[in-house]
Every structure is written in structure tokens, then in C-alpha cells.
Amino acid sequence: MKRGNQTSIPEFLLLGLSDRAEQWQLVFLLFLWMYLLGVLVSLLIVLAIGSDPHLHTPMYFFLTNLSLADICLLSTTVPKMLVNIQTHSKSITYAGCLAQMYFFILFGCMDHFLLTGMAYDRYVAICHPLHYTTIMSPWLCALMVAGSWSVSIPQALIHTILVVPLSFCAENEIHHFFCELNQVLKLSCTDTLINDTVVLIMAVVLYGVPFTGLLFSYCHIVSTILRIPSARGRGKAFSTCGSHLSVVSLFYGTGLGVYFSRTSIHSSQKVSKASVMYTVVIPMLNPFIYSLRNKDMKWALKKVFSRKTLFS
């Protein structure tokens, strides 16, 4: 079928998470609370790391970038949903939908690469502690973050550009609370073979390869921890890595479940609810799991608050 810019609808309708009007205010309050909590705590983490020279290490460098990416990821989807609930509207313009899709793919991809980078950092710290400072040099850390941006930006751009030529005729209802790529492709009345092929290839290359590296890192971490002779040492190491593994499991478990789900409307409604985990809940929890259980981070946050108290 001929592909050309034949879009004939000015907007899409985001059906959200619930069809029941009586639940909208509950959803609004819940997501407003999660959004504000996630953004404020992530900003505090960035401020604490930036103000404390003792935290200028590879792990906290990755955590700073992850916190910033999480703020942007939350801000890409949640505010529009909150506005729609309050205005009793479900609409999003065609251009707004493309923009939301682009930034969601961009920052979602950044989260993926940063989690992989943090797993590698922990792998070197636990499995090769004597060579940690040599391997995890500032140059390598900067290169890994720059590489994440250089891959994420083109990926998001390619997916968005490939949506532009598609035609959207009569159906404009997206069974989701944001413009998710697969849900938008379902609405097209033209052939999406090229889009689906590119999605598959990029999923295998850009997600499969780093995910394999992430699994490799954590497998070696667990193996090394199990060889620690001290039960107290094993418990301490597992308490730290266990929280990291829980985030990774939830992030990739729900993400893979969503993208391998079938295309029925009933399934789409379940998918939109399941995707809340990796689009909202995980970005909100990341700063708590990765830092607030850390003594150095708690001390840095105390210094930030004490400084504010002195100047107030």
C-alpha cells in the first residue's frame, strides 16, 4: 500500500486507565501524588550529589543521570493525563501525540541504558574491586552516558519519523493514557510492516544486547556474593543488590509483557494498566531504592536540609 502523509484526523483520544467517571478523581490524586513525589525526590537526589564532593563517584554519576531521565520520563506522560482528567477531555493533538511518543521513547531508552551502566558499575565494584578505579574512569563513565544519548535520540527519531507517513482514517481512540508507539500503529489504516520490522530489529539489537550484558553482570555479582565467607558480608551485599534486582525485574518484566501482548482491545486495556509500573511507578521508586537506603546519600541529604535551615 502506498505510504504518504495522508493523516485525516486532527487529534487522538486517550481513553486512559478507567472508563468510570467516578474513578477519575481517585486516579488524578494518585498520579498527582506519584508524579510530585518522583520529581521532588529525584531533584533532591541530584542536588545532594552535586553539592557533596564525596558522592562524585561513577555510581552516583549514573544515578544523577538516571534521576534526570526519570523526571523527564514522568513529565512526558503524567501531566497530560492529569490535565485531561481535570478538563474532562481525552484529546491530544496529532503533533502533541508525536512529540509525546518521541520523548517517551527517548527517555525510556535512556533509563534502559543507564540501568545497564549501573549494573556494570556494580559488577566491577564487586567482582573486580582492586581494579575499580582504573576501569570505571571518569572518561569511561562520560563515554557511556554520551553513548546512551547518541543511541536513544536517533532511535526515538526514527520511530517517530516512520509514523508521520501513516494514514489515520476514522479510528482515533488510543486505549492508553499516553501515545504509546504500538497503540498508535494499531490505529493506522495503512500498512505498518516497515514500522513493525524496525521496532523488532531495534528491540533485538538495542535492547537485547544490553539486556544480555545486564544479566551477565548480575549473574556474576550473585556468584561472587555467594563466595563471600562472612554471612554478614553476604547479607549486606544482597540487601544492596536485591533492591537493584527488584527494580530491574519490575522494569523489564512489565515492559516485555506489554510489548509481547496481543492486539485485542481487552488486552490493550490491561496493557495500559500494566505499563503504569514501568512508566510511572519505577521512575518514582528509583531514587528511593538506589539512594535513600544508602548511608552516604542520607548524610548528603541531611547536609542539604541543614544548609536550607541555616539560610532560611
Query: Could you report the per-residue pLDDT of 4-39, keeping only the tens digit for each?
Result: 444 567 789 998 777 777 778 888 999 999 999 999
In a domain, 18, yes or no: yes
**At a CB cut-off of 8 Å and minimum separation 6, what does 56 contact?**
49
Q: What is the CATH classification number for the domain harbouring 100? A: 1.20.1070.10
Q: Tell me, what's the pLDDT at 37?
A: 92
How is residue 135 written as a grid cell?
576501569
How is residue 196 written as a grid cell?
513493525
In single-letter form, the type of residue at position 254 comes to: T
Q: Report the 3 state secondary structure along 79-111.
A: HHHHHHHHHCCCEEEHHHHHHHHHHHHHHHHHH
In a domain, 144, yes or no: yes
In a domain, 214, yes or no: yes
**Within 10 A of 123 (CB to CB), how many other CB atoms are there?**
20
In a domain, 1, yes or no: no
In a domain, 148, yes or no: yes
d(CA 125, CA 80): 40
The answer to whether the CB of 267 falls within 8 A of the CB of 309 is no
In a domain, 155, yes or no: yes
In a domain, 153, yes or no: yes
pLDDT in tens, 232-260: 777 766 766 766 777 777 777 776 666 66
- Taking the whole predicted model, whether its pTM rises above 0.85 is answered as yes
How many structural domains compose the chain? 1
In a domain, 3, yes or no: no
The answer to whether the CB of 215 falls within 8 A of the CB of 228 is no
Write out the residue range of the structural domain in which residue 52 sits: 11-311
